[in-house]
Amino acid sequence: MAGTKFAYVKIFELPDPLLPGTYILVRLDGHGFHRLSQDHDFVKPNDERALQLMDHGARDVMNEFKDIMLAFGESDEYSFLFRKSTALYNRRQAKILTTVVSLFTSSYVFNWPRYFHSLSLKYPPSFDGRIVLYPSAKEVRDYFAWRQADTHINNLYNTTFWALVQQGGQTTTEAHSTLRGTVSKQKHEVLFSRFGINYNDIAERYRKGSVLVREKLTAADASGITERMPVEDDDPEGGAGGTKEVQSEKKNKKPKIHAQVQLYHCDIIEQAFWDARPYLLE
Amino acid sequence: MAGTKFAYVKIFELPDPLLPGTYILVRLDGHGFHRLSQDHDFVKPNDERALQLMDHGARDVMNEFKDIMLAFGESDEYSFLFRKSTALYNRRQAKILTTVVSLFTSSYVFNWPRYFHSLSLKYPPSFDGRIVLYPSAKEVRDYFAWRQADTHINNLYNTTFWALVQQGGQTTTEAHSTLRGTVSKQKHEVLFSRFGINYNDIAERYRKGSVLVREKLTAADASGITERMPVEDDDPEGGAGGTKEVQSEKKNKKPKIHAQVQLYHCDIIEQAFWDARPYLLE
Amino acid sequence: MAGTKFAYVKIFELPDPLLPGTYILVRLDGHGFHRLSQDHDFVKPNDERALQLMDHGARDVMNEFKDIMLAFGESDEYSFLFRKSTALYNRRQAKILTTVVSLFTSSYVFNWPRYFHSLSLKYPPSFDGRIVLYPSAKEVRDYFAWRQADTHINNLYNTTFWALVQQGGQTTTEAHSTLRGTVSKQKHEVLFSRFGINYNDIAERYRKGSVLVREKLTAADASGITERMPVEDDDPEGGAGGTKEVQSEKKNKKPKIHAQVQLYHCDIIEQAFWDARPYLLE
Amino acid sequence: MAGTKFAYVKIFELPDPLLPGTYILVRLDGHGFHRLSQDHDFVKPNDERALQLMDHGARDVMNEFKDIMLAFGESDEYSFLFRKSTALYNRRQAKILTTVVSLFTSSYVFNWPRYFHSLSLKYPPSFDGRIVLYPSAKEVRDYFAWRQADTHINNLYNTTFWALVQQGGQTTTEAHSTLRGTVSKQKHEVLFSRFGINYNDIAERYRKGSVLVREKLTAADASGITERMPVEDDDPEGGAGGTKEVQSEKKNKKPKIHAQVQLYHCDIIEQAFWDARPYLLE
């Protein structure tokens, strides 16, 4: 056959299996999103459209890969947790990593108009990603705590910074200078005393980031979920590729246990979130 | 600081540098493109719009990463060759791999309307990718020969198969059966005797695939390039994000050596292509 | 400096850190020990001198690397368990692996005369090794259970095989043939009915393998340990490089908690062994 | 079977193939040899017995692994070059690395009495090792140049240092102080003006290190080799496990091409060594 004498080059493709029995964490980050946010006039300090678009991409990824139990997003980054027993693609590293990053990217571009409407995307944005393995549940919890603590730190800084600029009339250089060396408490005071902003009144989405959970529910639970916990509908136009599972849910009459991806902006550092969902780390 | 006690989780991020002094080859493949091609009525055996869209994505990648010297595409796959001395992202494997795959994906979705016009993309397509390292120029040449031989084998089969179906009235099952066990020569004969098709008259794009080359040209060379070799303009609407370099080229008055990404559908198995461009493998 | 222009070759030395938070298991195996055992007239089915020499090597390794908590040996193989928090050599894979294998090999050759006396070693024996990572305590326990089950299977086969040959007058070919397809129970019966051997009367060393444990003891415990559990003294000549810790122990007058490497030939598949030593897997 | 339910732990053993088509370089180093050299009264600055013992170990390794083409040793380190096409153990990293390091260690301990006679080894010495891959011949040559330049630098320093101590009556602290900041030329002058030592008269073994080459010779060449190049016989007692090949050579009457491991203390930085042996890097 024509290609036979060249096929030996295939032996250079080395195996790259991930260690079994470990939690697979995929984190992706926007590539050059500082420029992207400027070129598309993102609202400062937080652009809700952009954050919802990120959540949409993450939901699409979770709908495609059922072994992702949890995802956490802030700004232009998202982290996905695969169950430690996943056998997806025989745990081949490059295959898992690239498929997740590619699908997320694709969804981001595909769904851009849904959130930005007439504001067209000017060029193709991209994301990079990495895989990190965690051997135990404790480390996984601490990973997500690390990201949510980061969300808090960044958001408090950015909120104060942009208040100084947008309402306080400072230049960005002055605002940086004002905040240099301040601790959290001082930023809270600046916000409150100078701008009348109580930081804790700011939307949880901005303070806590986005938490996408594959909830295990019975039909009975499902009917009551909106009472028990405020679930945000992040899809302003009512359903798309990313929400097929939810839609098919409505037609399901028989009571059975099933899973559903829910979006929260809740605390995941404290014990309560995890105690309520032991299956996330099993 | 709030996040400090959790930051230890960062030590689980292990380094993943690629061996220096080796050619880095990134190959990406469409994920589930059999279904995508059916859902979007791709022309069989080859859809020129889809192939041009792939080329556009590859060109965008090459415009972003100047250390990619050569790319080869066929069907829903593309291979990118980085120069062996590249220090991109300190040769970190996941970073290089994901950025290339993400940007390609993004460009594919972003530029879809340019090629498919009113035929909307129905859902976000994705690609997977891998990195393969090659230690020597010989292996790199054989890699590209392997892919182009594969292009030939697949295209000859598909061309004959779809002739049997579209013009010969066979079912796809019958067509597979007709072709089972045939060698190249027999497929050529089927095409010619039953459908009057001389395989060698079929467009080179389909028979040879797409070859994107970062050409090193002097301005003098550049002016004569269209005479020396047929260069296809794959951009029906005359320029986009992916072709900035070409455009700025036109304004450049000073004679100097510069590089330009050119698209060919030429043979890369034989010596001539490589002899003319020793810098590709240096 | 003279070497400066060549020093760039050092960048090809890539980092190889092992994933933090995982148990590091080093297993080494004799290389060509079938021939070695023949060339040095090892007793069949088990040569106690050879097994004691293996244990001596393992003890030397454990005395050198205090983060090895447990080792298990059978035949010409030994497994070493590092605590999951070990920072030995910054968890560099090649460094840990080669140092363990090299020291074990060195001790084996060095201490050969202590066990084989006038029977000289005819040529240098060698071992190969590998590292396996285990994320959780359960997998570590199952690893050791796997090796001890293997010990049992091999020893039952070999004991019956050599009884057939040495006492039953069969050729080795006939003995293999006699045993083909037999299950454990049948081998027990052959041993008992034909040779009057009750398998369970065979020395535990042969049936259970060797278990080296870094025990955590108080001085009070230490004084009573020989009553509580039969501890074998595997050193016929009373002390060597490998047993410094034990010797210094004897001079130690102050009651304090200390660790000591003890050799057992006990069951490690059941719960009891592990329940008594929770610190092994902490 | 008894072990079946535990055998799943084997899936944690991940594949570790080395990239095909690259030169495999194994370098091993003595572990704690500063202490070893003191405890065994090594002659300063160079102990010929210890160096010959290292060479013996390296020769044993090369006799075992026919794909090692070249080795270079200095002090307590040795580097081994495998041909780039080697398929030894399917190029499994841990297997190659540990077997080489283990056999070298074993030979070192086994052959110690041959070189140190009544001076007994007091405890088992060990070595660590690593594998480095080099994609091209140039890098391999530069690697060996790097090691030989290192030999030169160290030996010049040590020779001068010990002359100051042994003949000049300085303490080691004073000698270090005397040499601080000196360049090569100054050390040459110290040696010559104060101690009448012409550095270039010092044995090549010390200045150049040890070069073990798998020579390709015809029988005709072999008969003349001692004329053409001084070959040192490093085996004072006339033959052992490590020199079987050489001995069988003498009985071989038929003229044929064969390979033989030869020891030199020659320059390997300059072109001549490599030009004479193109097969080393093929």
Rounded to an integer, the average pLDDT of B177-203 is 96
Cα gap C28→C127, rounded to integer Å: 6
Which tokens is D68 given? 């090692």
Each domain of chain B, given as residue ranges in start order, spans: 16-146
Rounded to an integer, the average pLDDT of B105-109 is 98
Taking only the tens place, the pLDDT of each residue in A106-158 is: 999 999 999 999 999 999 999 999 999 999 999 999 999 999 999 999 999 99
pLDDT exceeds 70 at position D250: no
pLDDT exceeds 90 at position C174: yes
Whole-number pLDDT of residue A2: 52
Confidence label for B259 from pLDDT (cuts 50, 70 and 90): confident
What DSSP line would sit under A31-80, residue for residue?
ESHHHHHHHTT--SS--HHHHHHHHHHHHHHHHH-TTEEEEEEETTEEEE
Higher pLDDT, B281 or A253: B281
User: Annotated binding residues of D for Mg(2+), as ranges?
Assistant: 29-30, 76
Whole-number pLDDT of residue A250: 45
pLDDT exceeds 70 at position B16: yes
* Interface with A, mutate which of C19, C25, C85, C86 (most A CBs under 10 A): C19
Rounded to an integer, the average pLDDT of C5-21 is 97
pLDDT exceeds 70 at position B253: no
Whole-number pLDDT of residue A221: 56
Cβ neighbours of A19 in D, within 8 Å: 12, 14
- Calculate how close chain C gets to D208, using CA atoms only, in Å: 13
Q: What is the pTM of this model?
A: 0.90
Among 3.30.70.3000, 3.40.50.1360, 3.40.47.10, 3.40.50.720, what is the CATH number of C16-146? 3.30.70.3000
Whole-number pLDDT of residue C228: 36
Whole-number pLDDT of residue B244: 36
Question: What is the identity of the amino acid at A163?
Answer: A
User: Annotated binding residues of B for Mg(2+), as ranges?
Assistant: 29-30, 76
pLDDT exceeds 70 at position B205: yes
Task: Please tell me which of the candidates D20, D84, D136 has its beta carbon nearest to residue B21.
Answer: D136
Q: Taking a C-beta distance cutoff of 8 angstroms, is the pair A69, A88 a contact?
A: no
Whole-number pLDDT of residue A148: 98
Which tokens is C129 given? 């090794």
pLDDT exceeds 70 at position B254: no
- Calculate how close chain B gets to C226, using CA atoms only, in Å: 43
Strands laid side by side in the A258-264 sheet: A126-134, A23-31, A77-82, A68-74, A210-217, A258-264
pLDDT exceeds 50 at position C150: yes
Which tokens is A126 given? 């991209």
Scanning every residue of chain B, which has its alpha carbon at the shortest distance from the alpha carbon of D132? B19
Rounded to an integer, the average pLDDT of B92-117 is 98
Which tokens is D1 given? 């079977």
- CA of residue C231 relative to chain centroid, distance: 16
- CA of residue A154 relative to chain centroid, distance: 15
Confidence label for B218 from pLDDT (cuts 50, 70 and 90): low
Residues in contact with D237: Cβ distance below 8 Å, sequence separation at least 6, in sequence order? D114
- Calculate how close chain D gets to C255, using CA atoms only, in Å: 30
Confidence label for D241 from pLDDT (cuts 50, 70 and 90): very low
- Calculate how close chain B gets to D42, using CA atoms only, in Å: 39
What is the predicted ipTM? Answer: 0.88
Residues in contact with C231: Cβ distance below 8 Å, sequence separation at least 6, in sequence order? C225, C262, C263, C264
Confidence label for D219 from pLDDT (cuts 50, 70 and 90): low
Which tokens is D81 given? 């070059």
Q: List for chain A the helix, strand, coil content (%; round to 5).
A: 55, 15, 30
DSSP D92: B
pLDDT exceeds 90 at position C99: yes
User: Can you tell me which residue has the tokens 């302003």?
Assistant: A236
Instruction: Please choose, from the candidates A166, A165, A167, the residue with its C-alpha nearest in 3D space to the C-alpha of residue A179.
Output: A165
Cβ neighbours of D12 in A, within 8 Å: 19-21
Confidence label for A256 from pLDDT (cuts 50, 70 and 90): low
Cβ neighbours of A97 in B, within 8 Å: 94, 97-98
Residues in contact with B54: Cβ distance below 8 Å, sequence separation at least 6, in sequence order? B73, B76, B78, B108, B210
Q: What is the mean pLDDT of chain C?
A: 89
Computed over its alpha carbons, how large is the radius of gyration of chain C? Answer: 21
3-class state of residue D201 by DSSP: helix
Scanning every residue of chain B, which has its alpha carbon at the shortest distance from the alpha carbon of D140? B21
Q: Tell me which chains share at least 3 CB pairs under 8 Å with chain C.
A: A, B, D
Cβ neighbours of B94 in A, within 8 Å: 97, 128-131
Percentage of chain C lying above the pLDDT 70 cut? 84
pLDDT exceeds 60 at position C277: yes
As beta bridge partners, residue A258 has A217
- For chain A, how far is it from start to end, CA to CA, in angstroms? 49
* Interface with A, mutate which of D11, D85, D86 (most A CBs under 10 A): D11
Whole-number pLDDT of residue C153: 95
pLDDT exceeds 70 at position D38: yes
Instruction: Please choose, from the candidates C72, C68, C100, the residue with its C-alpha nearest in 3D space to the C-alpha of residue C86.
Output: C68
Q: What's chain A's length in residues? A: 282
Task: Please tell me which of the candidates C103, C125, C153 has its beta carbon nearest to residue D124.
Answer: C103
- Calculate how close chain C gets to B16, using CA atoms only, in Å: 8
Cβ-based neighbour number of residue A95 at 10 Å: 17
Whole-number pLDDT of residue D257: 55
Q: Taking a C-beta distance cutoff of 8 angstroms, is the pair B74, B210 a contact?
A: yes
- Whether B106 and A108 lie within 8 Å, measured CB to CB: yes
Confidence label for B257 from pLDDT (cuts 50, 70 and 90): low
Q: Tell me which chains share at least 3 CB pairs under 8 Å with chain A.
A: B, C, D
- Whether D99 and C128 lie within 8 Å, measured CB to CB: yes
Whole-number pLDDT of residue A223: 53
Q: Tell me which chains share at least 3 CB pairs under 8 Å with chain B.
A: A, C, D
Question: What is the identity of the amino acid at C220?
Answer: A
pLDDT exceeds 90 at position D261: yes
For the stretch D143-154, what's the b/e string if a residue is b when 16 or more beta carbons lie within 10 angstroms of its beta carbon? bbbbbbbbbbeb
- CA of residue D40 relative to chain centroid, distance: 20
Taking only the tens place, the pLDDT of each residue in A148-167 is: 999 999 999 999 999 999 99
- Calculate how close chain B gets to C93, using CA atoms only, in Å: 13
Q: What are phi and psi of A133, to 5 degrees?
A: -100, 135
pLDDT exceeds 90 at position B108: yes
- CA of residue A56 relative to chain centroid, distance: 9
Task: Please tell me which of the candidates C11, C12, C17 has its beta carbon nearest to residue B14.
Answer: C17
Q: What are phi and psi of A92, to 5 degrees?
A: -75, 125
Q: In B40-136, which ranges are continuous DSSP H helix?
A: 48-64, 93-116
Residues in contact with D59: Cβ distance below 8 Å, sequence separation at least 6, in sequence order? D212, D234, D242, D243, D261, D263
A51-60, A232-241, D157-166: range with lowest mean pLDDT: A232-241
- Whether C106 and D108 lie within 8 Å, measured CB to CB: yes
